[in-house]
Structure 1
Amino acid sequence: MSFIKTTETESSYNHLEKMSIKELLININNEDKTVSIAVEKSLPQIETLIEQIVLKLKNSGRLFYIGAGTSGRLGVLDASECPPTYGVSHEMVIGIIAGGDTAIRKAVEFAEDSTTQGWKDLQAHNISKNDIVIGVAASGTTPYVIAALKECNEKGIITGCISCNKNSPLSNAAQFPIEVIVGPEFVTGSSRMKAGTAQKLVLNMLSTSTMILLGKVKGNKMVDMQLSNNKLIDRGVEMIMSELNIDNVKAKKLLHNNNNNVRAAINANNASLNGN
């Protein structure tokens, strides 16, 4: 099958500069509506990759996202939100972006073109066969990411990817590829739009499903989240009130006595009721 980079093909719309604000918004929104449908078609691939992630993380492995530009930033974002949301170590899910942390805010010229730096960046984290690496690249052609995955394959490290083109070089390099085919962007080639949205949706699925399967959610609550501000402390109190059917005062006391940890507070209360 030949490779066609549909993310960079001509937009279905033209003369964008002549559109009114309302027309621009309607057309962008119409394109955005197609993204979740494209993701839905990829659910079997997503499920297969999640199974691999959970296996690794249950055996003390780590999940790495590696990408460049928008794709790299999205991976860093997803990784950075796992510790506060689920109370896991910052070393469990790690986001790596071509050009380093500087590239999170400002583009680093030609960083994505290196065929050696991706593997070096992974080595800086002592990558091993215990871990799993997911390359994130909308185009599926980013040298930094492809080369890193190929090196991982040679070293016996499980690899996956998220791309938005069918049969891309990245998909061919990954053992467990996810392809979300969103088609041409509203602004030709601007893959931070639909492709970026698709990648964010898939990343949400990967990390959220994984954390649920690792036991980091109770019912539908983030009982292990870090209560790092007053809003989150209030949310923690509400969780305890709901779970234990107690009033606000008792819930606050329980939370305070258990290091502001919702799960610990609930477990302590249940233990006391059981006489333990």
Structure 2
Amino acid sequence: MIAIGKRSAVALAVSGVIGLAAFTWPLFVAPSSDIAHAGDAPWTFALLLPLVLAVVLAELSDKGMDSKAIAMLGVLSALGAAIRPLGAGTAGVETIFFLMVLSGRVFGPGFGFVLGNTTLFASALLTGGVGPWLPYQMLGAAWVALGAGLLPQWRGKAEIALLALYGVVSSLVYGFLLNLSFWPFAVGEGTSVSFDPDASAGTNLLRLLAFTLATSLGWDLGRAVTTALLVVVTGPVLLRTLRRASRKAHWLRPLATSGGGEEPDTTGEWGVRHDGRVC
């Protein structure tokens, strides 16, 4: 697992708690109330922006990011926003999750959290997909990329298999979370898949699963299959490319010589001195 700095860990933990509250609060409100996501989404979005900024600042403070990482974040966000319209909205085909999974894997959970948010936000602006669902899509995608950075550090075919499996699981969980965010208000009261404020948590969970099976499972499976296939097809090349970019971006400071002068690092590789020793 990629090491996380203390500040970054705190920022991500706070973001996780607030994000979980954003997804689950409808479970504690009667469906007959006048509250709906059209009203709460702006507040969720307003809370999300400082959370993303806090994670960025924590990563910068912990040296998990630098100016070059911020530039890479912009490039990957723009790339994701550009390729998402190629599949979004067609039988659940999703062409963006594989990029977030692979990027989160290489650059770590903090970078992944920010990338998921910025990619979905940029995509929404590009395609006109701004609505009350947007902050929840951003949070869900952020958790997908964050989770990829926390997976065991396997290599080779085992790593590709792990990431493909993670792509399937995270795609299904993403769909489940989006359903959870609006389900209590989606179908009203009195049906077999409606939220019942008087029922137990287990009963409501079964109702939510039934709602998911009846409405969005086909789309979620399409997203899962697409993500897994793209990870398998592009993973070996993209992982090498992103890791090479990560190494090249971390230039070492000049090393002091015994005479008081400075010798430049001549390898351009992160963590390797000019004399071949690892530092």
TM-score clears 0.5: no
Query: Which structure carries more helix by proportion?
Result: 2
More strand by share: 1
Question: TM-score, normalized by length of structure 1?
Answer: 0.27
- TM-score under structure 2 normalisation? 0.26
